[in-house]
Amino acid sequence: MKKYPDISEIIKQKEQHRRVLAALPFEQKIEIVFKLRERREFIKSGRVISNSKKPKTESG
Amino acid sequence: MKETLKVVNQMVRDGVIEDYAIGGAIAAIYYLEPFDTADLDIFVQVSTTGSALMILAPIYEYLIKRGFKAKGEFIYIEGLPVQFLPVFNPLTEEAVRKAQTIKYARVTTRIMRPEHLVAIMLDTRRPKDYLRISMFLEHGTVNLRSLNAVLRRHDLMKKWKDHEHRFKP
C-alpha cells in the first residue's frame, strides 16, 4: 500500500495562522481586505507581466 | 473606510437615517479572519415606510448631492462601494438596534453582533453563508446562549436544526 505523508502538522499551522489573522486589529484586517480586492481586480483584468517588463537582475 | 464611516455618521446627524449598523462580510471580518469581499453593507433604520426603493431614495439623493456616484446597487463613498439596505424584518431591525459601538481608526461606528450575523446568514441560506457560520462556530466568537435566544425569538430554531449538519464543526 502506498504511504502518504502526514500533513496534520501543516493543517494545525494553517489553523493557527487563521487564528492569528482573526486576532488582528480591525483596521489591519480591512487593509488586508483592500489588498485582496486589488489582487482580485488584477487577476480579473487578465494582465500578464511580460518577460520584457521584468526587472533585470545582475546576471541577466 | 474611515472617511466612508464619517459620511455615514454625518447622515445620522443630518437625520437622513435614524440608526445604522455594519452587517455582511465586513462585519463578519471584524470577528473572523479577513477574506475577500466586494462591498460594505450598511443596514439602516429610517422613519419612512414604503418599498425599499422609496426608503433608499432620500439616502441616494443626499449622497449624490454631495458628489458621490451611484453604480448598480452600490454607491461609492470615498472609493468604497457601499450598499445601503433598509431593515427588512424584525431580525435585521433588532440586529441594528442591538449593534455594538466600536471605533475604527478613531471613528465611532456600529457593527452587528456575531449572534445576529449568524442568524441573518442562516435566514439567507447561501452556500457562502453556511461557510461563514461554520467559521464563526469554529472561532468560538458566538455566545451560544445568546444565539439560541435570537434564533428562538425569530423563529429560526427549526432552520438551525435542519441545516446544522452543513456548518457544525
The fraction of chain B above a pLDDT of 90, given in percent, is 73
User: Residue A50 has what pLDDT?
Assistant: 55
Looking at per-residue pLDDT, the higher value among B82 and A51 belongs to B82
The arithmetic mean of pLDDT across residues A35-49, rounded, is 80
Q: Is A48 on the interface with B (CB under 8 A)?
A: no
Q: Within the 34-93 window of chain B, which residues sit less than 8 Å (CB to CB) from chain A?
A: 34-38
ipTM score:
0.83
Do B34 and A19 count as a contact with CB atoms less than 8 A apart?
A: no
Separation CA A8–CA B2 (nearest Å): 40
Pairs across A and B, CB distance < 8 A: 39
The fraction of chain B above a pLDDT of 70, given in percent, is 99
User: Residue A43 has what pLDDT?
Assistant: 84
Residues A22-46: b if buried by 16+ CB within 10 A, e if exposed: beeebeebbebbeeebeeeeeeeee
Nearest CB partner across the interface for A22, out of B32, B37, B38: B32
Please state the pTM of the whole predicted model: 0.85
Chain B residue numbers with beta carbons less than 8 Å from the beta carbon of A22 are: 31-33, 139
B98-146 per-position pLDDT tens digit: 999 999 999 999 999 999 999 999 999 888 899 999 999 988 899 999 9
B39-49 per-position pLDDT tens digit: 899 999 887 77
B142-169 per-position pLDDT tens digit: 999 999 999 999 999 999 999 988 887 6
Statement: residue B84 has pLDDT above 80: yes
Separation CA B90–CA B130 (nearest Å): 21
Chain A residue numbers with beta carbons less than 8 Å from the beta carbon of B36 are: 33, 36-37, 40
The arithmetic mean of pLDDT across residues B16-31, rounded, is 95
Q: Within the 10-29 window of chain A, which residues sit less than 8 Å (CB to CB) from chain B?
A: 18-19, 21-22, 24, 26-27, 29
Q: Is B30 on the interface with A (CB under 8 A)?
A: yes
A48 band by pLDDT with thresholds 50, 70 and 90: low
Pick from B33, B14, B168, B45: which is nearest to B110 by CA? B45
Q: Answer for the pair B73, B66: CB distance below 8 angstroms, yes or no.
A: no
